[in-house]
Structure 1
Amino acid sequence: MRDAMVLKAQRFVNSVYASRIGMTVEETGEADWSTLYALTRALQYELGITALSDSFGPTTLSTLTDKYPKLNADTVPSPDFCRIIQAGLYCKGYDGGDLDGTYSERVQAAVTKLKTDMGVEQAFPGADLTPKVFKALLTMDSYVLGGSGTQQVRDVQRWLNGRYLNRQDFFVIACDGRVTRDTTRAVVFGVQYEVGMADGTANGNFGPGTQSALKSHPVKQGDKGVYVQLFSAGMVVNQRPAALTDTFDSALAAAVRAFQTFVALPATGDGDFSTFASLLASYGDQSRPGQACDTIAKVTPARAATLKAAGIKYVGRYLTNPSAKSLPEKAIQPGELATIAQNGLRCFPIYQTVNNDAGDFDYVAGRTAGYAAVNAALDHGFKKGTRIFFAVDFDAIDAEISANVLPHFKGIKEAMADSGHPYEIGVYGSRNVCARVGAAGYSTASFVADMSSGFEGNAGHPLPKDWAYDQIVIRPLGSGGGQLEVDIDIASGRDTGQGSFNRPRPAVPDVAFDARQVPPLRADLARYMQSIGRPDIGGIGGDARLYTNAQTVEAIQDQDELITELSHTYKMRKALIQTAVYWAMRDYSLADQATDQQVADHHLSGSGSVKDSHTGIGEISATDAIQAWNHCVGWGFTTGDRRDPAKDADVWAVWQQLNKDNAFSVRTAALLHLWGARGRPGGQLPPGDRVTTPRTMRLDLAEFEITELLRRYRAWDPDVESQTHQSMAVYQIFEKYNSILRNA
Structure 2
Amino acid sequence: MADEMVLATQKWLNKTYGHIPEFNQPNEDGLTGWPTIYALIEGLQVELGVAPSDLFPGFGDTTYTLYDQLITPNWNNLSKNVVYLIQGAFWCKGISPGGFDGVQTQALSDAVAALQEDAGFSNTNGVLSAMWAQALFDMSAFVLLDDPRIREMQQYLNANYYNYTGILPTDGIYQRATNTAIIYALQKEVGLDVETANGVFGPTTRDLYVEAYNNNWSNALSMIIQFGLYANMSEFWEVAGTPAPEFTGVLDGPTTEGLHLFQDFMRLAPVTDGSPDLRTAWSLMTSNGDPNRNFFGVDTSLQLTQQNIDDLVAFDVNYVGRYLTGTVGVGENEKDKFLTRAEAENIIKAGLKIIPIYQDNYPHAEYYTRQQGRKDAATAMFTAAKLGIPDQSFIYFAVDFDALDTDIDNWVMPYFQGVREVLTSSEYEFTYKPAVYGTRNVCTRIHDDVGIERSYVSNMSSGWSGNLGFSQPLSWAFDQFFESSYGSISAIDFVAVSGLDEAVSHLEPSSEIGEGYWIDQTNWDWLKDPFHAGSIKVDGPSWTLFDYPGIMKAEVSVSSEVKGDPNATFILEIESGKLTPSSFEAVTKTLGKDLGVVTANKLNEMSIGIANAQMEVSAAIDLEGLATWRITITFPDTDIEEVKVANSIEIELSFDFDSSTPEGNMQLAFNAIKLYCKENALAASIIGASGLALVISFLPWATLGVSIVEKGTELLALAKLLMPAFGRKKDED
CA distance in 1, matches of 2:580, 2:467: 33
Residue 164 of structure 1 pairs with residue 161 of structure 2: yes
* Residues 1:369 and 1:513: Cα distance change in structure 2 (over 3 Å): closer
Shift of 1:322: 4.8
* Residues 1:43 and 1:552: Cα distance change in structure 2 (over 3 Å): closer
The amino acid of 1:238's aligned partner reads N
Residue 463 of structure 1 pairs with residue 512 of structure 2: no
CA distance in 2, matches of 1:359, 1:477: 36
Shift of 1:119: 2.0
Instruction: Spell out, residue by residue over 1:319-378, the C-alpha distance to the aligned partner (whole angstroms, 9 max, x if none).
Output: 101569755341102411111111110001001111400111101101101111110100
Where is the strand percentage greater, Structure 1 or Structure 2? 2
3-state DSSP of counterpart to 1:415: helix
The amino acid of 1:437's aligned partner reads I
Q: After the TM superposition, which of the residue ranges 337-346 and 510-519 deviates more from structure 2?
A: 510-519
CA distance in 1, matches of 2:107, 2:699: 85
Q: After the TM superposition, which of the residue ranges 55-64 and 201-210 deviates more from structure 2?
A: 201-210
Is the contact between residue 219 and residue 228 of structure 1 (CA under 8 Å) also seen in structure 2?
A: no
Shift of 1:55: 1.4
CA distance in 1, matches of 2:518, 2:277: 65
* Residues 1:80 and 1:239: Cα distance change in structure 2 (over 3 Å): farther
CA distance in 2, matches of 1:92, 1:552: 56
Instruction: Spell out, residue by residue over 1:442-497, the C-alpha distance to the aligned partner (whole angstroms, 9 max, x if none).
Output: 4111001111112121112111111111110101111xxx3342111111111121
Aligned to 1:737: none
* Residues 1:484 and 1:53: Cα distance change in structure 2 (over 3 Å): same
CA distance in 2, matches of 1:603, 1:547: 24
3-state DSSP of counterpart to 2:420: helix
Instruction: Spell out, residue by residue over 1:388-438, the C-alpha distance to the aligned partner (whole angstroms, 9 max, x if none).
Output: 000111111111111111111111111113336711111001111111111
- Could you tell me which runs of 5 or more consecutive residues in structure 2 were left unpaired when the two chains were aligned: 235-243, 529-572, 611-641, 690-694, 701-733
Aligned to 1:8: 8
CA distance in 1, matches of 2:479, 2:201: 18
* Residues 1:87 and 1:334: Cα distance change in structure 2 (over 3 Å): same
Is the contact between residue 424 and residue 432 of structure 2 (CA under 8 Å) also seen in structure 1?
A: no
Shift of 1:540: 1.0
Q: After the TM superposition, which of the residue ranges 58-67 and 505-514 deviates more from structure 2?
A: 505-514
Aligned to 1:149: 147
Aligned to 1:192: 187
Residue 394 of structure 1 pairs with residue 411 of structure 2: no
Aligned to 1:647: none
Aligned to 1:279: 284
Aligned to 2:37: 36
Q: Spell out the pairing of 1:522-601 with structure 2 (5 A cutoff).
A: 526-527=575-576, 529-531=578-580, 533-535=582-584, 538=588, 539-540=590-591, 544=599, 548-551=603-606, 573-576=644-647, 579-581=648-650, 584=651, 596-598=655-657, 600=659
Aligned to 2:533: none
CA distance in 2, matches of 1:88, 1:511: 64
TM-score after normalising by structure 1: 0.71
Instruction: Spell out, residue by residue over 1:6-55, the C-alpha distance to the aligned partner (whole angstroms, 9 max, x if none).
Output: 33322322222222363332333332222111111111111111211221
3-state DSSP of counterpart to 1:440: helix
CA distance in 1, matches of 2:518, 2:158: 72
Residue 298 of structure 1 pairs with residue 317 of structure 2: no
Is the contact between residue 372 and residue 415 of structure 2 (CA under 8 Å) also seen in structure 1?
A: yes
Is the contact between residue 316 and residue 348 of structure 1 (CA under 8 Å) also seen in structure 2?
A: yes
CA distance in 1, matches of 2:171, 2:517: 64
3-state DSSP of counterpart to 1:127: coil
Q: Spell out the pairing of 1:28-107 with structure 2 (5 A cutoff).
A: 28-50=29-51, 51-70=54-73, 72-74=75-77, 76=78, 78-107=79-108
Aligned to 1:307: 312
Shift of 1:203: 2.4
CA distance in 2, matches of 1:295, 1:374: 20
Q: Spell out the pairing of 1:222-621 with structure 2 (5 A cutoff).
A: 224-240=218-234, 241-266=244-269, 268-322=273-327, 327-418=334-425, 419=428, 422-478=431-487, 482-505=488-511, 526-527=575-576, 529-531=578-580, 533-535=582-584, 538=588, 539-540=590-591, 544=599, 548-551=603-606, 573-576=644-647, 579-581=648-650, 584=651, 596-598=655-657, 600=659
Aligned to 2:566: none
* Residues 1:153 and 1:136: Cα distance change in structure 2 (over 3 Å): same
CA distance in 2, matches of 1:288, 1:163: 33
Instruction: Spell out, residue by residue over 1:594-624, the C-alpha distance to the aligned partner (whole angstroms, 9 max, x if none).
Output: xx4446589999x99999x99999x99xxxx
CA distance in 1, matches of 2:357, 2:166: 41
The amino acid of 1:262's aligned partner reads F
3-state DSSP of counterpart to 1:226: helix
3-state DSSP of counterpart to 1:428: strand
Aligned to 1:202: 197
CA distance in 2, matches of 1:292, 1:411: 29
Shift of 1:3: 3.4
Is the contact between residue 370 and residue 415 of structure 1 (CA under 8 Å) also seen in structure 2?
A: yes
Instruction: Spell out, residue by residue over 1:46-87, the C-alpha distance to the aligned partner (whole angstroms, 9 max, x if none).
Output: 11112112211222222223333445213x2x1111111111
Q: After the TM superposition, which of the residue ranges 79-88 and 211-220 deviates more from structure 2?
A: 211-220
CA distance in 1, matches of 2:7, 2:516: 70
Q: Spell out the pairing of 1:681-696 with structure 2 (5 A cutoff).
A: none
CA distance in 1, matches of 2:121, 2:230: 20
CA distance in 1, matches of 2:98, 2:285: 42
TM-score after normalising by structure 2: 0.72
Is the contact between residue 309 and residue 350 of structure 2 (CA under 8 Å) also seen in structure 1?
A: yes
Shift of 1:510: 6.0
* Residues 1:554 and 1:37: Cα distance change in structure 2 (over 3 Å): closer
Q: After the TM superposition, which of the residue ranges 152-161 and 56-65 deviates more from structure 2?
A: 56-65
* Residues 1:109 and 1:383: Cα distance change in structure 2 (over 3 Å): same
Instruction: Spell out, residue by residue over 1:676-711, the C-alpha distance to the aligned partner (whole angstroms, 9 max, x if none).
Output: xxxxxxxxxxxxxxxxxxxxxxxxxxxxxxxxxxxx
3-state DSSP of counterpart to 2:579: helix
Aligned to 2:130: 131
Figure out how many residues of one structure are paired with residues of the other and give that number.
585
The amino acid of 2:306's aligned partner reads P
- Could you tell me which runs of 5 or more consecutive residues in structure 1 were left unpaired when the two chains were aligned: 556-570, 621-657, 664-744
Q: Spell out the pairing of 1:704-715 with structure 2 (5 A cutoff).
A: none
CA distance in 1, matches of 2:201, 2:299: 24
Percent sequence identity over matched residues? 28
CA distance in 2, matches of 1:64, 1:274: 43
Shift of 1:172: 1.1
Instruction: Spell out, residue by residue over 1:239-278, the C-alpha distance to the aligned partner (whole angstroms, 9 max, x if none).
Output: 4413333211111111111122111125711001111111
Shift of 1:223: 5.6
The amino acid of 2:401's aligned partner reads F
3-state DSSP of counterpart to 1:216: helix
Is the contact between residue 574 and residue 580 of structure 2 (CA under 8 Å) also seen in structure 1?
A: no
* Residues 1:598 and 1:175: Cα distance change in structure 2 (over 3 Å): same
The amino acid of 2:482's aligned partner reads V
3-state DSSP of counterpart to 1:107: helix
Residue 108 of structure 1 pairs with residue 88 of structure 2: no
Aligned to 2:169: 174
* Residues 1:296 and 1:572: Cα distance change in structure 2 (over 3 Å): closer
3-state DSSP of counterpart to 2:204: helix
3-state DSSP of counterpart to 2:335: coil
CA distance in 2, matches of 1:404, 1:331: 26
3-state DSSP of counterpart to 2:283: helix
Is the contact between residue 278 and residue 284 of structure 1 (CA under 8 Å) also seen in structure 2?
A: yes
Is the contact between residue 71 and residue 129 of structure 1 (CA under 8 Å) also seen in structure 2?
A: no
Aligned to 1:707: none
CA distance in 2, matches of 1:441, 1:265: 29
CA distance in 1, matches of 2:645, 2:224: 63
